Amino acid sequence: MAQLFDLLLKRGTIVNQDGAAMRDLAISGGRIAALGNLSGASAGETIDCHGLHILPGVIDTQVHFREPGLTHKEDLETGSRSAVMGGVTAVFEMPNTDPLTTSAQAMADKVARGHHRMHCDFAFFIGGTRENTHELPVLERLPGCAGVKVFMGSSTGSLLVEDDEGVGNILKVIRRRASFHSEDEYRLNERKSLRIEGDPRSHPVWRDEIAALQCTQRLVRLARETGRRVHVLHITTAEEMDFLKDHKDVASVEATPHHLTLAAPECYERLGTRAQMNPPVRGASHRDSIWRGLDQGVVDVLGSDHAPHTVAEKAKSYPASPSGMTGVQTLVPIMLDHVNAGRLSLARLVDLTSAGAARLFGIACKGRIACGYDADLTIVDLKRRQTITNRWIASRAGWTPYDGVAVTGWPVGTFVRGARVMWEGELVAPGRGEAVRFLETM
């Protein structure tokens, strides 16, 4: 008797931990049910994926979707729409909202806002503060919580724990891997006078390499003293990459597409404040060092650090202009273009965008194409040549630093737990996003 499935994806090239090969993929009940030659099977729907590559669903472990409180920039629906339009199937969202995500009530509110409204699956970081340190052992285990996030340097919002005692106290009480914005607040305050009115090229002069390195060195020392695991977000410097390669037992490393793609001063001269973010885009030598860290396996994951602001806000004169840029929708096409340029393999991209996230954060049933796993799939056309435009961006912000950039490689389909959410540039299903599950909190 022929096998009957909900959905069959036929003749696609599946890229997974065991390599790339043309295989059929069957889905039932939102999960992967079978892989291989399924010519004798039937399904309620069959899609011919010949000429396309099927990747494990891309997981973006750093986004800012601004809800609640700053929804004129973005909200959970528009941010997740932008995600799935770019092939992203799950996101981890940051706590610097208004109010801050620092309590059980705030976490439950976010999960409720996202449930079956967001277009991709989701988890939310709980913000670590001096005031809620004693509650963190409970808060980090709440449903939908991706872990604790700490800002050691000030960025958008008011979350800040800049001192060793405060950070150490947080690390002492938690058990899960904690994520950190690593810039030395003391040095940032000392160097504020180096900002030049109207000149965003001074941004990386103010927030310099030493501010990043000093903070990361402090963080790793505290992780060793407390016996905890830390995740250092958006690495931007050659010095940090060289330091972190010797501390992989306690520190995992994130890189972002924009720090791998843009370089100062050219990006500031061309994009102005739209290239401004924290930590900053630096010179080409630092960009090259991030690539070396990626090549050598020091970098564990990619995160977009999607941090939208309106066009009007970004048009303010530096330094009154806010830091941050859109990125969740462009993560896949920008990185596929790097694949086609020979800068990394498709298998390495898969590791950085799905398997790596599942491994670091202990995600249940995501990050691989395997029977019993959620049928989260990012389907791409490696040969498609397309130009990224502001018009394509689904974020409420409505702009991208890559406007007018032609890339080779494009997301053509997004499946979330077996449901086709995006296909050929069209949103084809209502929001059905649900909270990501974690092995350490089940």
Residues of the chain with pLDDT > 90, as a percent, come to 97
d(CA 365, CA 61): 16
d(CA 35, CA 217): 45
The pLDDT value given to residue 18: 85
Instruction: Concatenate the DSSP letters of all residues of 189-251 into one string.
Output: HHTGGG-BTTBGGGHHHHS-HHHHHHHHHHHHHHHHHHT--EEE-S---HHHHHHHTT-TTTE
Please indicate whether residue 121 is annotated as part of the active site. no
d(CA 269, CA 201): 8
- Per DSSP, the three-state class of 275 is helix
pLDDT, mean of residues 206-213 = 98
pLDDT, mean of residues 377-398 = 98
CB 297 within 8 A of CB 248: no
Q: Inform me whether the pLDDT recorded for 156 exceeds 80.
A: no
Residues of the chain with pLDDT > 70, as a percent, come to 99
Domain locations in the chain as residue ranges = 4-54+373-427, 57-361
Q: Inform me whether the pLDDT recorded for 2 exceeds 90.
A: no
Looking at 60, 208, 305, 337, which residue is catalytic? 305
Q: Inform me whether the pLDDT recorded for 100 exceeds 90.
A: yes
- Give CA 4 to chain center in angstroms: 36
> Tens digit of pLDDT for each residue in 315-344?
999 999 999 999 999 999 999 999 999 999
CATH class of the domain at 57-361: alpha beta
pTM over the 0.95 mark: yes
> Tens digit of pLDDT for each residue in 43-97?
999 999 999 999 999 999 999 999 999 999 999 999 999 999 999 999 999 999 9
**Helix/strand/coil percentages in the chain, nearest 5:** 30, 25, 40
Q: Inform me whether the pLDDT recorded for 1 exceeds 60.
A: no
Beta strands, E only, 317-395: 377-387
> Which CATH architecture best describes the domain 4-54+373-427?
Roll (2.30)
Q: Inform me whether the pLDDT recorded for 229 exceeds 80.
A: yes
d(CA 79, CA 65): 6
User: Of the given ranges (17-31, 120-134, 147-161), which has the lowest mean pLDDT?
Assistant: 147-161
- Topology alike, domains 4-54+373-427 and 57-361: no
